Structure 1
């Protein structure tokens, strides 16, 4: 029994420590929550009340932030979409800093649009004063755009804030697009595209924008 109890205590401690290495904020909160709950139980059982109280407080704090994060993930007032020119210095800096991560999600994307390939519209997804993602759409004519890039920083990726570009912002219709198309890069992309309102059309996914806010 003593060994089992110590093992439970170590599990809680390990979860709390490992949570601090997570870049995704939701993963961090969930791991930290589970670890703090386990640590609370362990400290209650062995009668170390100061540590039990501390871990219980940490668990409550995690519950608060998780509920807030999930609530805000559906709130278009939290994530704003700002249209910027492709040559915008801050946009170029953001794309260069995160080039390696972007390449894993959109390997064909380049900083400069292909010559003669149609005008590119670029949108920053921001949360407060932080840019959390970029959507780039190439104009293929007749009100149709091809999504060249739909990227979000890893720690915000769980919330897929890029969906606000298609669903709530009205930024793409304001740029003259009535429809956007995209070719996904794996199962994760297709699940995100469904949530963002895309439908399958042949070898690509299509999203009509007429009803966008």
Structure 2
């Protein structure tokens, strides 16, 4: 029986350590919460009360932040959409810093727009922190081709790009009435559905309301 409890305790410890290696906030909080719950049970069994108290406190802290993160995930007052010039220095800085991660999700995307094209860039921010970028190229007649829809790893579980498509007038104000997107192997189809896109032949399409 003691051996089983030891395995139980090790699982909790491993989860806590692994949680500290996670870039995504949501994954970190959930792994840390589960690991702390297991550690609480393990220390209760052996009556190690200081560690019981510590892990209970960690569980409560994680539960608080998970509740807050889920509430904020769809709050347009938390996430704002800022239209940015394609050659803006801060936008360029963000794109260069995360260029390797961006290349995984949009391998055809280049920081500088192709000659003769017009690109509109929209940065999603949380407070004073840049969270993600959506870049749309004018294709004519109010149609926009989504060249980039990228989010920082730590915010990726919350898909804040939805605010560009659903809760912001930024795209409409830029003159777009419809968006088109050609997916690739890293494209999250379920995210596109939730963002209001539909399939049309080989593309995903979203009509924008006034």
Shorter chain as denominator, the TM-score bin is over 0.9
Q: Distance in 2 between matches of 1:83 and 1:2?
A: 60
Matched, 1:50 2:50: yes
- Matched residue, 1:24: 24
How much has 1:108 moved relative to structure 2?
0.3
What pairs up with 1:93-108 in 2 under 5 angstroms?
Answer: 93-108=93-108
- Deviations along 1:38-87, whole A, 9 cap, x unmatched? 00000011000110011011011111111111111111111100001001
Give 1:206's aligned residue.
205
Distance in 2 of aligned mates of 1:164 and 1:87:
22
Q: Which residue of 2 aligns with 1:135?
A: 134
User: Does structure 1 conserve the Cα–Cα contact (< 8 Å) formed by 2:143 and 2:179?
Assistant: yes
Partner Cα separation in structure 2 for residue 190 and residue 98 of structure 1:
22
Query: Which is further off, 26-35 or 8-17?
Result: 8-17
1:7 aligned partner: 7
Question: What is the distance in 2 between the residues matched to 1:107 and 1:189?
Answer: 15
Q: 1:67-119 CA distances to partner (integer Å, 9 max, x unpaired)?
A: 11111111111110000100100100100000000000000000111112x21
- Partner secondary structure for residue 38 of structure 1: helix
How far residue 130 of structure 1 moved from its aligned partner, in angstroms, is 0.1
Distance 1:104 1:134 in 2: 14
2:148 corresponding residue in structure 1:
149
TM-score if structure 1 supplies the norm length? 0.96
SS in 2 for 1:80: strand
Unaligned runs of 5+ in 1: none
The offset of 1:188, in angstroms, is 5.0
Q: Which runs of 5 or more residues in structure 2 are unaligned?
A: none
- SS of the aligned residue for 2:188 comes to helix
TM-score, normalised to structure 2's length? Answer: 0.98
CA RMSD of aligned residues (A): 1.0
- After TM superposition, the structure 1 = structure 2 runs for residues 154-193 of structure 1, keeping only pairs within 5 Å, are 154-186=153-185, 188-193=187-192
1:116-153 CA distance string (max 9 Å, x none): 2x210001100010001000000001100000000000
